[in-house]
Amino acid sequence: MRLEGDRFTGLEHHVWLNGKTGIVSKIPSELGQVWQNMTPDAVEKDLGIMDEFGIPIVDTRVYGPQTVSFTDEASETRKQAKYVLKQPFIDPAHTMTYADLLHFEKHRTALLELMHQSEAIKNERGLGLDLLGGKGFDLIRPALDPRIKTMRADVGNLLVPEEDIQTNGSWAEHAVRANGFVAKKGEALLCDTRLMPIGESGSCYERMLAPVMQKNRDFQDAALWATMEGLGVDQNVVRPDERFNTGFKRLVRKLALHAKPKMVAEAEKMN
């Protein structure tokens, strides 16, 4: 399988964005394979759970073990990938920002719903929904550094389409979610469709990794709930005594609330 387009590497996947075909291709990265079960069956299981719990995702196709080829720093490279994920290229779109949450109730409502769904998946399946992505930890320095007056804050794995996006020819042969559209303007779609192992189930290796993944999940939970608290969401929904019930979560809450003025300043610039 030939992989073409603009390439970048995340914490889990090597990614190719192909504007010509309107397709995003992903294969497991070396780092991703360290902390996650990177098999087609594991992907299908995650997708099934997300469907069961009603998580709105970017339409995702799974292709089993593949020999892939691509240009890597002007050299032609071939390698065996455990799987290839393909998704429609949602463009124009942007990652959900603090500005979206500050200015639009529909985005606050959409994120709150995802946070409740995430709790249900955690409680019932021992798995974590990855809403912030690895860039969540990048917020720490600008939140604390007094020299930085504004900070952009993104819910890193949520895409917000800026117009209705129809499937193109290369995606049209597949079923799409709604009347030929792969995305509707203003909705929030999760683009990272892998779940984090944070419980006591799964393989021995996943159980070993669970405490580390749980810390990531705790960070995301506390940061998002504290952000909602800072946006004035009802205390009966935020439930601070329950949400921030460890020293680590209380520290993250303090960090997020401390960052609020800088996030507001950036959001006002973007408005």
Residues 24 and 36: beta-carbon distance below 8 Å = no
Query: Is the pLDDT confidence value at 169 over 60?
Result: no
Enumerate the β-bridge partners of residue 82.
none
Query: Is the pLDDT confidence value at 177 over 60?
Result: no
pLDDT, average across residues 143-165: 94
Q: What mean pLDDT is reported for the chain?
A: 90
pLDDT, average across residues 158-180: 71
d(CA 135, CA 130): 11
* SS3 at position 81: strand
Query: Is the pLDDT confidence value at 68 over 90?
Result: yes
What is residue 139's predicted lDDT score, i.e. its pLDDT?
A: 86
What is residue 175's predicted lDDT score, i.e. its pLDDT?
A: 46
pLDDT band at 178 (very low <50, low <70, confident <90, very high): very low
Q: How far is CA 253 from CA 127, 143, 210, 214, 234, in A?
A: 22, 12, 22, 16, 16
Enumerate the β-bridge partners of residue 86.
25, 61
Q: Give every strand in the sheet of 84-88, ordered side by side.
A: 6-9, 13-18, 23-28, 84-88, 61-63
pLDDT, average across residues 100-123: 96
d(CA 9, CA 25): 12
Query: Is the pLDDT confidence value at 253 over 60?
Result: yes
Query: Is the pLDDT confidence value at 163 over 50?
Result: yes
d(CA 81, CA 72): 15
